[in-house]
Structure 1
């Protein structure tokens, strides 16, 4: 019998498992600079945390009056991002410990991310997480990105799990909303501390408002074990 019974765990990637937001910011800054929008700030970038690349660049086109197509902007941003992701992505240590504990205990896991499949693959391979996380769903493979539940429901389908038996680990408000819409429980670890009081996080079953500074593999495991006992 598995340690957590029928529970499966579905991870967001960026800002949850890995600290990739600095890479996304730099890729976005370089892209916008090339199209005549200088001085894109980190504060401006924070509004896009948890939103897919395609939705992000579509908003850029509206905000900055860019004439380039969404497809062109996505391609340029992804090219810059992949250059950074392969060598500059770090895994949050307690998240790595949590993933390894789940693997040791035979708990099914998946990654469901707003990033492209290529970007997800580069990060997982570059950090060694691909040894543990083999079920992967990108926003490109579903009709709608977060806060729609599509990526999480597809991850559950690929795991052969009931959505009600899935626990999502998320750092962003749109992801917490997506988990709730999917009928899944959620451990929320906000990447942007100032967003911890966002209404979407109020739907989380476990909210660690201090973000990664508060998250530990032990706390997450004990919460899952208690959830399994209640089930």
Structure 2
């Protein structure tokens, strides 16, 4: 057991560990244009942040009146996204620093993401985060994506951790809601600043309203140590 007691940490991937949303936006823009939906904007894309890729495809069908099944849209989106993800997915520097601090302290860690298993694997390998984050769960492997708790509960199960001992790092409101539903504490780092007042973020144990600009690995690590000490 680490110096942080029974703590386990579960990271969301996109928008939390890595800045992959520009890749998802570009892949989405291309796919939608091919299906007769021109001028897909970044503002529109922001409404899908934190939603699994399969659920996003289903929402596209509803919003844009597409006849293509959601799984077919997803099958088109994934390889387009992977081509971009393999070559240009930056890790947020302070997030990498936190992962390294936790790894040095022996804290069990996992990734729980709405992305496909292939996308998660490609990004972790391409960024070198796979050296620290060896447990990963995709929304495609559970019954329901965020805001349901399934994804985080499965990550805890694979880590052999009690949900009450888990802390989730999340950038999106559905993920914060999922962490709360799973009975886990959440550190919220909103990717979209305008969404910081979303009611789901009010359930977070720690809300960094400034997002990644406000995030400090040392400060969050100290907060985790303090909360672990109080729990003993």
Cross-structure match for 2:104: 104
Please give the alpha-carbon distance, in whole angstroms, between the structure 2 residues aligned to 1:48 and 1:116. Answer: 15
Cross-structure match for 2:79: 79
Cα drift, residue 166 of structure 1: 0.1
Cα drift, residue 68 of structure 1: 0.8
2:135 paired with 1:135: yes
Cα drift, residue 178 of structure 1: 0.2
Cross-structure match for 1:39: 39
Which consecutive residues of structure 2, in runs of 5 or more, have no partner in the other structure?
Answer: none
TM-score by length of 1: 0.99
Cross-structure match for 1:10: 10
Cα drift, residue 79 of structure 1: 1.2
Please give the alpha-carbon distance, in whole angstroms, between the structure 2 residues aligned to 1:132 and 1:103. Answer: 6
Cross-structure match for 2:94: 94
Cα drift, residue 3 of structure 1: 1.3
Please give the alpha-carbon distance, in whole angstroms, between the structure 2 residues aligned to 1:195 and 1:67. Answer: 31
Cross-structure match for 1:204: 204
Cα drift, residue 71 of structure 1: 1.1
Cα drift, residue 65 of structure 1: 0.8
Cross-structure match for 2:121: 121
TM-score by length of 2: 0.99
Please give the alpha-carbon distance, in whole angstroms, between the structure 1 residues aligned to 2:187 and 2:70. Answer: 32
Cross-structure match for 2:151: 151
Cross-structure match for 1:180: 180
Question: 1:161-180 residue pairs with structure 2 within 5 A?
Answer: 161-180=161-180
Tell me the secondary structure at the aligned position of residue 87 of structure 2: helix
Please give the alpha-carbon distance, in whole angstroms, between the structure 1 residues aligned to 2:2 and 2:127. Answer: 27
Cα drift, residue 2 of structure 1: 1.3
What is the CA RMSD across the aligned residues, in angstroms?
Answer: 0.5
Which consecutive residues of structure 1, in runs of 5 or more, have no partner in the other structure?
Answer: none
Cα drift, residue 110 of structure 1: 0.2
Please give the alpha-carbon distance, in whole angstroms, between the structure 2 residues aligned to 1:192 and 1:3. Answer: 33
Please give the alpha-carbon distance, in whole angstroms, between the structure 1 residues aligned to 2:193 and 2:86. Answer: 27
Cross-structure match for 2:28: 28
Please give the alpha-carbon distance, in whole angstroms, between the structure 2 residues aligned to 1:188 and 1:108. Answer: 19
Count of residues in Structure 1 that have an aligned counterpart in Structure 2: 231
